[in-house]
Structure 1
Amino acid sequence: MTELYHFMEMGVWLGFAAIGFAVLFNVPQRALPVIWLVGALGGITKLVILHFGGNIILASLAGATLVGFLSIPAAHSKHAPPLVFSIPAVIPMVPGAFAYRMMLGLIRLAGDTHADSYSDILNSAVSNGLKTLFILLSLAAGVAIPMLVTRKESAKKMKIIK
C-alpha cells in the first residue's frame, strides 16, 4: 500500500515538473491541467515499470509513448498542437544523472589518472553516455511515433467518445 502512495506522490511531483516546463515555454493557461495529468501519468508509467524490474530505456519509451498517445486527444479537446502537451510532460524524464556521471567520468579521464583505474573510469563514462543516448532516443521516439501513427487524420477530424 505504501508503494501506491509513493507512486501517487511521485506522479504529483512529476506533474508539477511538467507544469514548470510548460510555464517556461509559455503554453496557454488552458493547457496546464492537462499537461500536469499527462506528465504525471507518463512519469508513473516509467516508475512502475522500473519498480517491477524493467529496463530504464524501455520504461522511458513506454512513458513517452503514453505521453504521446495522451497528447493527441488533449490537443483535440484544448485546441492546441499535440507538442504543447507532450514536450513539457516528457522533459522531466530526461536522464540528467546519467549525463552528469558521464561528464564527470570524461573530466576524470582528461585529468591525471592512474593506468589501473583508467579502464574502469572509461567503462563507466561510456556506459553512462550510452544510457543517456538511448534514453533520449526512446523519449523522442515515444513522443513522435504516436503522432506519426495518427497523422492520417487531423486531430480535428478524430472522433472522441465522451
Structure 2
Amino acid sequence: MEWGWLLLRDAWWSAIAALGFAVLFSVPPRLLWGCMLGGAVGHMVRTFCMQMGLSIEAGTLLGAMAIGLLGEWLARRTHTPALVFTVSAAIPMVPGAFAFGTMLNLIDFSNTPDAGAGQVLLWQAAYDAIKTALVLAAIAFGITWPALVLRRPRPVV
C-alpha cells in the first residue's frame, strides 16, 4: 500500500514540475496536460524501477523511454512536434543532487589543506560527475530512441 502512495505522490509532484517547465517554454495551454502526463509517467516509471532494485541510471533510461513513447503518441494525436511534450516532461528527471554534490566536493577540495581528505573529496566529485553524466545520457537516449525507431522515413520521390 505504501508503494502506491509513493508512486502517486511522485507522479503528482513530477507533473507539477513538468507543468512549470512547459509554461516556462511557452507550450500552448491546450497541450499542457500532455506535458504533465509525460512528466508524471516518466518519473513514476523511474521511481518504480528504483524501488525494484535498479540503479538510477537504468531507471532513468526506462522512464525517459516511457516519456519518449508517450511523446510520440501524443504528437501524432495532437499534430504537434514530440519535443513539445518530451522536453518539459524529462527536465524533472535531471539529477540535480549529483550535480550539486560534484560542485560541493570540488569547492571543498579547493579549500582543504589536508592531502588525504582532498583526494577523497576529488574521488567523490568524480563519482558524482560520472553519475550525473550517465543519467543525462540516459535521458537523452531514452527520449530520442522512440523517435528513431517509430518514425517511418518518407520516400524521396
Same topology, TM > 0.5:
yes
Structure 1 spans left out of the alignment, 5+ residues: 155-162
The aligned residue for residue 63 of structure 2 is 63
- Check the 8 A contact 2:112/2:118 in 1, yes or no: no
Q: What TM-score does the superposition give when structure 1 sets the normalisation length?
A: 0.91
The aligned residue for residue 4 of structure 1 is 4
The aligned residue for residue 121 of structure 1 is 121
The aligned residue for residue 150 of structure 2 is 150
The aligned residue for residue 31 of structure 1 is 31
- Aligned Cα RMSD in Å? 1.1
- Check the 8 A contact 1:46/1:60 in 2, yes or no: yes
Kindly report structure 1 stretches of 4+ aligned residues shifted beyond 3 Å.
none
Would you say 1:137 and 2:155 are equivalent positions?
no
Q: What TM-score does the superposition give when structure 2 sets the normalisation length?
A: 0.94
- Check the 8 A contact 2:94/2:135 in 1, yes or no: yes
The aligned residue for residue 79 of structure 2 is 79
The aligned residue for residue 51 of structure 2 is 51
Q: Among the aligned pairs, what percent are the same residue? A: 37
- Check the 8 A contact 1:30/1:78 in 2, yes or no: no
Give, in angstroms, the shift of residue 2 of structure 1: 1.8
Give, in angstroms, the shift of residue 153 of structure 1: 5.1
- Check the 8 A contact 2:65/2:142 in 1, yes or no: yes
Query: How many residues of Structure 1 are paired with residues of Structure 2 in the alignment?
Result: 154
Give, in angstroms, the shift of residue 34 of structure 1: 1.3
Would you say 1:14 and 2:4 are equivalent positions?
no
- Check the 8 A contact 1:39/1:67 in 2, yes or no: yes
Structure-2 separation of matches of 1:152 and 1:118: 53
